[in-house]
Amino acid sequence: MDPRFGLIGLILTSLIFVIPTDLEDVTLLSWFQNFLTVFVLFSILIALIFLMIFLLEKKHPDFSEFFGVLNFAFGMSLLIISVPVFIVAEIVVNQLLNISVLSLVVFSLIPYYNYLLFGWICEKASKSSKVKATAIGVISMTSIFLFHYFLRYVVT
């Protein structure tokens, strides 16, 4: 896959990760700083995952192919599945049906779906054997979970 699609996916993922939940405290400068922070940290995470694959596998994928597949697939999943599901859960379930608990349940499940998807994409893109691919998937899934968890301490 063309690495330009990966760059588009990386930008898209970084934009989605910095969508503010409280618009009162957000300025354009702080939003841009948050975007750059997430962009750089997410790029480092991807590079570390590729380094792990590089060290585990004798026959590893090309970095540009791995970068393109991982970022484009993850970015499109966020854009096409996660954001619309959140919007539907927020607008339809919470506002129209006035069932806020169901909206919270749906919203809390979305990140875990994305963690699983990220791990699966890394596993498939690594082109590793079954045991190594599973280890890569689990480590990648754990790393994106930790990235997302600690992001709140870095992004203002």
Higher pLDDT, 46 or 97: 46
Structure tokens at 28: 């354009």
Give the pLDDT score at 23.
67
DSSP 77-118: HIIIIIHHHHHHIIIIIIIIS--HHHHHHHHHHHHHHHHHHH
Average pLDDT over residues 3-15: 87
pLDDT at 146 over 90: yes
Look at the block and give the residue holding tokens 């940290």.
41
Give the integer Cα–Cα distance in Å for 27 and 13.
Answer: 20
Amino acid making up residue 21: T
Higher pLDDT, 21 or 125: 125
Give the pLDDT score at 109.
82
In this predicted model, what pLDDT tens digit does every residue of 10-62 receive, in sequence order? 998 888 888 776 667 778 888 899 899 999 999 999 999 999 989 888 887 88
Band (145; pLDDT cuts 50, 70, 90): very high
Higher pLDDT, 40 or 92: 40
Q: Taking the domains of the chain in order of start, what are their residue ranges?
A: 3-16+26-154
Give the pLDDT score at 21.
65
Give the pLDDT score at 22.
66
Give the integer Cα–Cα distance in Å for 7 and 56.
Answer: 25
pTM for the whole structure: 0.84
Structure tokens at 150: 């600690």
